[in-house]
Amino acid sequence: MPDYLLNIGEFTARSQFNELMAAELDAKRTGWLMANVRRISSDIDSRLVKRGDIQANGGCFLAPYPEKVKGWVARILTPLAYTALGTVPSLPDNVWKYIVDDADKADREITEAANPVTGLLILPLQNGSKQMQTTEPATLSCSDQSPFTSKHDQYDAVQYGGR
């Protein structure tokens, strides 16, 4: 699976978490940020895989990755990074609430994008094809039809000469 943010600089460019804090976190917990980028990228792929083909790199998208997807990773990772660094108490309450709410909103957007029927987000073209990744499911029927349907149709055909 690909990492949708290729380095820490891509994360800090899309987050309130700055380079200084990222360096401090990397000094405390080496590799933590990129390990979580990998995990979040994998989570996104596992939720969106129903919408499109698996690419040669094992993910849903080929590089260059869509900005929307990079933003989701950064928005979800930001509160986790603050918590791992231990700087949550030093943030004003309204800033922390915004960061957490933004991460929740990103998660809801991923859920919405993963829904092939009611999802409103359109993901970009893949492999240069003319088809969008968001498509309707092939079948919308249900196999739980009433066993009496055919009998009613037969009765109506005899009684009323068909429907």
pLDDT for 5-26, tens place per residue?
778 888 999 998 999 999 999 9
Of 70-74, 76-80, 85-89, 155-159, the least confident: 155-159
Tokens 């309450």 appear where?
93
Question: What is the structure's pLDDT at 75?
Answer: 95
- Ordered by start, the domain boundaries in the chain are 8-134
The residue among 12 and 2 whose pLDDT is bigger is: 12
Question: What gap in Å lies between CA 91 and CA 63, rounded to an integer?
Answer: 35
Would you tell me how many other CB atoms lie within 10 Å of the CB of residue 78?
Answer: 21
Who's near 42: CB < 8 A, 6+ residues apart? Answer: 1
pLDDT for 109-133, tens place per residue?
888 888 767 666 666 545 454 444 4
The residue among 51 and 31 whose pLDDT is bigger is: 31
The residue among 120 and 45 whose pLDDT is bigger is: 45
pLDDT for 76-100, tens place per residue?
999 999 999 987 767 788 888 999 9
Q: Answer for the pair 69, 4: CB distance below 8 angstroms, yes or no.
A: yes
Give the torsion sign (CA, 80, 84, 88, 91): negative
Question: What is the structure's pLDDT at 19?
Answer: 92
Question: What is the structure's pLDDT at 12?
Answer: 92
Helices of type H across 8-162? 8-13, 19-28, 32-48, 67-85, 93-114, 149-160
